Chains A and B, each alone.
Chain A
C-alpha cells in the first residue's frame, strides 16, 4: 500500500488581498498536518460550500512559511471571483500536495520564465535552486506593468530578475521568449505561463539548444489522476495526466 500523501485538510484564510491587475494573493493556514510541498506541486481549493460552482480550483503552491501556504490567483471567473470575497478567518478545504515536482535541477545556472500568474509555478523552484547553491535569474512577463504583481515577491526574496511587458510600461518591451537570446546554452530553462508563451519558448529553445522544462496549466476536475480531464499528448501520442504525471514535463516529452 502506498503512502497516504494526499491530504484533504481544512485551511483557514489568513490573508486575502488584491495586488494589481487581476492578481490576488492568499495565505492559507492548514488546520491539520500536511507534507512539505515541493516545487511544481499544487493544491485543489474548495471555492464554494454549495455545489455551484462544484469543482475545486487548482493553484500552484507558490511559497510557504511555518504556518501557511501561499497562492497567487487571477480573478477570471466565478470560482476565483468567489475566492476574492473570502474574508480572513474563513475556513475551506484544500486537497494537497498534488502533482509531481519533476523539474530539472541539473546544471549550475537556471533561468525561470514566468508569464503572468504563471510565475507562481516557479517561485518555490527558485528557492530550492538557490538553496542548492545554483545561480537563478527570473524572467517575468505580462501584458503591462499592473499584471506583474508578483514583483513584490521577487523583490522581497532578493532574486535577480528581468521584466518584459507587451506595451513596454515597465522593463523591456516585448516577449519573454526573447530572453533566450541573452543566455547561453548552459542555462537550464524552466517555464510556466499561458500556452502560446510556452509554445514560443519551445520553438525558440529548439533553435538555441536550451533544455526546457514546463509546468503546465490545464482544466482539472479532480487533481488526483482519476477524471482524465486534464490530459496532454506525449511526444509518442499518448495522453498523460497533467495533474498526476505532471504538471512539470520535459518540453521534449509533450506536444503542446
Chain B
C-alpha cells in the first residue's frame, strides 16, 4: 500500500489530508459520521482567549460554486475549550492543530501558552486572516511588519510548531510568506477566505449582517493554487506549505500538491460532501498506487520541475532533510 504518511516540522502525520479550521468544529460532531482518526489532522475552529459570541445572522450566503461566510469566530474561549471540549477530543487518535486567534499580540501568546500542555494539540495555526472580525485577526495579516513581530513574539514563548494561515486579500502573498520565514514560523497555510459580498436585490441590501464575508468553496481553488505556486516558487522547501482552498476531490488536492503544498486541508467541502476528506485520502492512495509513487513527498511541487534549476527529482530523503534543516533548496530560478 502506498505510504501517505508525512513528516512536517518534526511531527509525523498519518497522511497529508487535514480538515480546515471553521469547517469541522473541534472534531466532535464528525465522530457521528465517520472515524475521525483516519484524518491526517484536525485543525480546530478558531480559539480565542475569551469566549466570542460571533456575528449576528445572516452569517452565510451561497455564491456561484461557493459561499460567503461571516461567522465572526464564535467560540467558547480557550479555558472552556480545555475544560469541556478537549477531554472529548483526547479519545480521537489523530493530531489536532489549534487555530489561534487574538485581538492583541498578548492574547495570541496567552492562548498558545494555555494550550502548551495539551498533548493532543501538536501545533498552532495562527489566524491572522479572518476577514470577519473588527479587531485583531486580519489587522495582523495585512501588515508585514506587524505580522513579523507577532510571529517572533509567539515563537519565543512556545515549544510547539507554529503555522501561519495567510490572507489572500493582499497584493503579494509572498511578502507575507517572507516575513513568516524570517520570523521563524514553521509552516504556512495558504489560503484563508477571499473577501466578498452579495446583495439581496429584492430587499436592496447586503445579504450578510456584516455586509462582507469570506468566500470559500470550489470557486477559490485557482486562487489558492496560484498563491501556493508563487510562494513555493520563491521559497521552495525552505518552509512547508499547507494548501487549503476549494478542495473537494483528490484531483483538487493534487493541484495544490503539485503547486507546492506538502499537505492539504479540506474545508468547505465538509459542508456539502461530509465524506470528502476520506475520499481525498483514498483517492490519493489509489492514485499513488496506480502511478507507482511510493512516497507522497515525491509529488510535492512536481509542477515546478521545469522551473526549478538543479535537481528536479529530489528523493524523499533529500526533501525530508531539507525540511529538517529548515531547507536550503531555494528554488527560484
Contacts and interface: CB of A to CB of B under 8 A. Distances in A.
B is a partner of A: yes
Interface stretch (A49-57, A132-140, A201-209): A49-57
B58 interface: yes
Contacts of A228: 22, 45, 54, 59, 71, 74
Nearest to A1: B31
Contacts of A231: 54, 57, 59, 74
A6 B33 contact: yes
B65 interface: yes
Interface string B203-218: 0000000000000011
Interface in A207-249: 218-219, 221-222, 224-232, 237-239, 244
A8 B59 contact: no
Interface residues of A, number: 32
Interface residues of B, number: 37
Contacts of A239: 53-54, 74
A8 B53 contact: no
Chain A interface main SS type: loop
A219 B274 contact: no
Contact of A54 (B23, B32, B272): B272
A36 interface: no
Contacts of A56: 271-272
Contact of A219 (B25, B33, B60, B91): B60
A5 interface: yes
A226 B270 contact: yes
B32 A2 contact: yes
A51 B271 CA distance: 12
Contact of A4 (B23, B34, B58): B34
A8 B33 contact: yes
Given A3-B32, A8-B33, A239-B74, A227 B64 contact: no
Contacts of A1: 31, 91
Interface of A: 1-6, 8, 46, 51-56, 95, 218-219, 221-222, 224-232, 237-239, 244
Given A54-B67, A55-B67, 12 more contacts: A51-B65, A51-B217, A51-B248, A54-B272, A55-B62, A56-B272, A219-B58, A221-B67, A222-B272, A227-B271, A231-B57, A239-B74
**A-B residue pairs, 10 tightest by C-beta:** A229-B60, A222-B271, A225-B29, A51-B218, A221-B271, A51-B65, A226-B25, A6-B32, A6-B33, A228-B71
